[in-house]
Amino acid sequence: AQTVTQSQPEMSVQEAETVTLSCTYDTSENNYYLFWYKQPPSRQMILVIRQEAYKQQNATENRFSVNFQKAAKSFSLKISDSQLGDTAMYFCAFIDSNYQLIWGAGTKLIIKP
């Protein structure tokens, strides 16, 4: 069965620090897509970053970057220079040929002033 595991239920860091959120997944497919989504207290789910499994280069979006280790089935999210507005639930997810997003349980990230 395809699964996504986020082992950190909650994390907190000081503003301007760097934080890394962990995610591991399990799939037998070779072609799939990985995502990090953010859900702030307002509840709107927002796409943060995506990674294609066939690409070796790690994706980056401004302060957000991933460390994608395909063999280890690991997909961590690094947030640099964290800001108060980064406070949210962060979900790791992947999609394959079944067109279904498989979600992790989420990590609650708190940025402290």
Partner 1 sequence: KAGVTQTPRYLIKTRGQQVTLSCSPISGHRSVSWYQQTPGQGLQFLFEYFSETQRNKGNFPGRFSGRQFSNSRSEMNVSTLELGDSALYLCASSLGVEPNYEQYFGPGTRLTVT
Binding site for partner 1 (CB under 8 A): 33, 35, 37, 43-47, 50, 52, 91, 95, 98-103, 105-106
DSSP label of 30? S
Report in angstroms how near the CB of residue 32 gets to partner 1 at its nearest: 9
Nearest residue (CB) to partner 1, 14 versus 31 = 31
Task: Give, in order, the Cα–Cα distances in Å from 19 to each of 30, 65, 105.
Answer: 29, 11, 18
**φ, ψ for residue 84, nearest 5 deg:** -55, -35
| Cα 29 to Cα 34: distance, rounded to the nearest angstrom | 13
Name the residue nearer to partner 1 (CB basis): 28 or 44. 44
| 16 versus 47: smaller Cβ distance to partner 1 | 47
